[in-house]
Structure 1
Amino acid sequence: MAALIYPPKPRPGDRVAVVSPSAGLPAIFPHVYELGLRRLREEFGLQPVEYPTTRIMGADPRERARDLTAAFADPSITAVLATVGGDDLITVTPYLDDEVLQANPKPYFGYSDNTNVLNHLHRLGMVSYHGGSVLVHLGRPGTLHPLTADSLRAALFGSDWYDLSPAPQWGDEPNDWNDPDCLADEPVMFPGTGWHWQGPARVVEGRTWGGNLEVLHWLLAADRVAPAESLHGSVLLIETSEELPPAVEVYRMLRNLGERGLLAGFPAALIGRAKAWEFGRRLTPPEKAAYAQQQRAAVSRAFAEYAPDAVLVFDVDFGHTDPQLIIPYGGLARVDPLARRISVRY
């Protein structure tokens, strides 16, 4: 695979774009959004710059693409952060001005539905960053999670290798944003369980690709994924959303990647900790544990069939759970089962 470009990094005091290319949830939850902006200013020393659609729900995809293109075009902007995810960014990326993006590479931070943009930038030859939601993570009730904050700071300002760490505590039961008072309380957290390793004891180093599994499936259907051979040797990133897809669908989505010729080309995969609770599906602790185990089994089954020699690491904190470690998308990752170590180069 051809080398991707790491865009120049911002410095404290710089102006950074805050955009909503997916859902304009700052319009509905301004108290959460304002907390995220304040932390961006006070804890990271960056000056957020909003765009016309940042606080608009249901903005026209062409207008959202115009804002995102403008953020890259502005020479005073040194990084671009998405406010949150959603479900229709696949309708926005066709309107992006690729010539502008390629001529003005900048670090882009987002996750979930932002997999559309991460994949798009990857195809343009640009490293981006999986994670860093202004609402969900910068606007976390109580305090910033220290692992999220440390990882985001290193990804924003650094360019060195960074060791990811298993979370000593994690959560997937967020506070209710509909209650402004929720911002005063720390979210419910649970004891960490560490990473779960599977596969051969060999070190793998490669450039990352992947993201939210459901969105990857949409991208495959829309034929917006690079040819399988160009992704061979990559470290696959996969995580699932708050929609809590059943294990059988997780297996089928991965099976489709296998039939596309993708899975066989990944020597390693990092699998995000499965979110197993949502306001509409309040699973009990035993139900949550069963759901997570079923997801692990589904992933293991697909890799056993298509890439039996891949190194798999489960329950890495980079998806829809708390904390959220930032992972370079298209950047380098080193997966070392011998030392039980995962390192990424920001």
Structure 2
Amino acid sequence: MIYPPKPQAGDKVAVLSPSAGLPGILPLPFEAGLTVLREEFGLMPVEFPATRVMGASARERAADVNAAFADPSIKAIIASIGGDDQITVTPHLDDAVIRANPKPFFGYSDNTNLLLHLWNLGIVAYHGGSVMCQFGRCGGTHPASAESLRAALFTSGPYTLPESFEFSDVDKPWDDPASFDAPPPMRACDGWHWHNPDRVVEGATWGGNLEILSWLLMADRGIRPAAAYEGMVLIVETSEELPSAEEVFRILRNMGERGLLAKFPAILIGRPKAWSLNHRLTPAESAKYADDQREAVLKALTHYAPATMAVFDVDFGHTDPQVVIPYGGQIRVDGPARTITVTY
């Protein structure tokens, strides 16, 4: 796997919408994110033609990705946000151009498609850090998110992930300017939960958003034979659509039936998002949702990978704060020390 060269302060970075062109209809978090990129990270964001176009075709969005990789002045690529149809975009990517011009790509959720595509090309990418959600967060980027983003963007080498004891998954309306006056409300949490923490596992990461992974598995898009994942560390997280515990179990069960789960000696499960504007759960309901999801994962592991070490509620994916996980990069999961160290 190749770690692409990192940008430096003053460099240009592409901000693209490979999934949904939400910057065009919800400009407030997008503009806030651009400001943070310029003023706090010292980068020069460059928009491409489809960045603010809701409903842009798959070919138009792929053309932006191809152009961003081809442009020698662009030193990194950051997704504006996710969506639900990036699976239609990746067939139009120019792999020869991307291989010849590897660059750090940041995104998560539906951007699991691009992360996996880059992994198959031998390029390390970065799970996390979208313009509208992390850089454009209401009230400013969370300090823990900002620290991880800076390390992933500008440095190379080991980075020990911080364990958060407060979090938020409550959304503010992005069409209300008042939403950006203060950060979202934070809630206390217990940190990470460990299962089978009796060893140290080192390897490359693979996975992403669990719902998107299930679609990729159904389409047989970019999935290799199970033996290719031997010794890797699986990273999975769920979205604001709040898939049920039963659905989470079924996806993992099917991965087990395919022979995948048993290949991973360790798995990281992101802190589940348990509230959204379309699913306004009470704190008690949110806690039960998270507990039920954990039990669903453990049930699947019991059947298909009983010896696998698992770490629950790691701060990646659809949660705040969010840390960046190198996709295809190296990770060390130290059970006895209860630490997780990635290599940026």
Q: TM-score, normalised by structure 1?
A: 0.98
What letter is aligned with 2:98?
A: L
Which of residues 149, 157, 160 is equivalent to 1:160?
157
* Corresponding position of 2:320: 322
| Shift of residue 192, structure 1, vs aligned partner | 2.8
Give deviations 1:101-139, integer Å, cap 9, x for gaps. 111100000000000000000001110000011001100
What letter is aligned with 2:292?
A: Q
Give deviations 1:309-336, integer Å, cap 9, x for gaps. 1110000010101111000000000000
Matches within 5 A, 1:210-225: 210-224=207-221, 225=223
Check whether the contact 1:84–1:133 (CA below 8 A) recurs between aligned residues. yes
Name stretches of at least 5 consecutive residues in structure 2 with no aligned partner. Answer: none
| Shift of residue 168, structure 1, vs aligned partner | 2.8
* Corresponding position of 1:280: 278
2:131 aligned with 1:134:
yes
2:226 aligned with 1:228:
yes
* Corresponding position of 2:256: 258
Q: What is the distance in 2 between the residues matched to 1:343 and 1:60?
A: 39
What letter is aligned with 1:277?
A: W
* Corresponding position of 2:3: 6
* Corresponding position of 2:333: 335
Following superposition, which runs of at least 4 residues in structure 1 exceed 3 angstroms of deviation? none
What letter is aligned with 1:109?
A: F
2:211 aligned with 1:184:
no
SS in 1 for 2:6: coil
* Corresponding position of 1:30: 27
Q: What is the distance in 1 between the residues matched to 2:157 and 2:197?
A: 27
Q: TM-score, normalised by structure 2?
A: 0.99
Check whether the contact 2:197–2:334 (CA below 8 A) recurs between aligned residues. no
Q: What is the distance in 2 between the residues matched to 1:306 and 1:95?
A: 36
Check whether the contact 1:174–1:188 (CA below 8 A) recurs between aligned residues. no
Check whether the contact 1:200–1:309 (CA below 8 A) recurs between aligned residues. no
What letter is aligned with 1:94?
A: P
Q: What is the distance in 2 between the residues matched to 1:330 and 1:191?
A: 31
2:239 aligned with 1:205:
no
Check whether the contact 2:127–2:325 (CA below 8 A) recurs between aligned residues. yes
Q: What is the distance in 1 between the residues matched to 2:92 and 2:258?
A: 26
What letter is aligned with 1:216?
A: L
SS in 1 for 2:169: strand
SS in 2 for 1:36: helix
Check whether the contact 2:266–2:308 (CA below 8 A) recurs between aligned residues. yes
Check whether the contact 2:28–2:175 (CA below 8 A) recurs between aligned residues. no
Check whether the contact 2:78–2:105 (CA below 8 A) recurs between aligned residues. yes
Counting aligned pairs with the same residue, the percent is 63
What letter is aligned with 2:39?
A: E
Which of residues 108, 113, 121 is equivalent to 2:110?
113
| Shift of residue 200, structure 1, vs aligned partner | 4.2
SS in 1 for 2:133: helix
2:28 aligned with 1:49:
no
Q: What is the distance in 2 between the residues matched to 1:256 and 1:8?
A: 37
Q: What is the distance in 2 between the residues matched to 1:178 and 1:216?
A: 30
Which of residues 166, 173, 192 is equivalent to 1:169?
166
| Shift of residue 228, structure 1, vs aligned partner | 1.3
Check whether the contact 1:20–1:55 (CA below 8 A) recurs between aligned residues. yes
* Corresponding position of 2:265: 267
Q: What is the distance in 2 between the residues matched to 1:38 and 1:282?
A: 30
* Corresponding position of 1:308: 306
What letter is aligned with 1:192?
A: C
Q: What is the distance in 2 between the residues matched to 1:128 and 1:120?
A: 10
2:88 aligned with 1:91:
yes
* Corresponding position of 1:64: 61
Q: What is the distance in 2 between the residues matched to 1:95 and 1:226?
A: 20
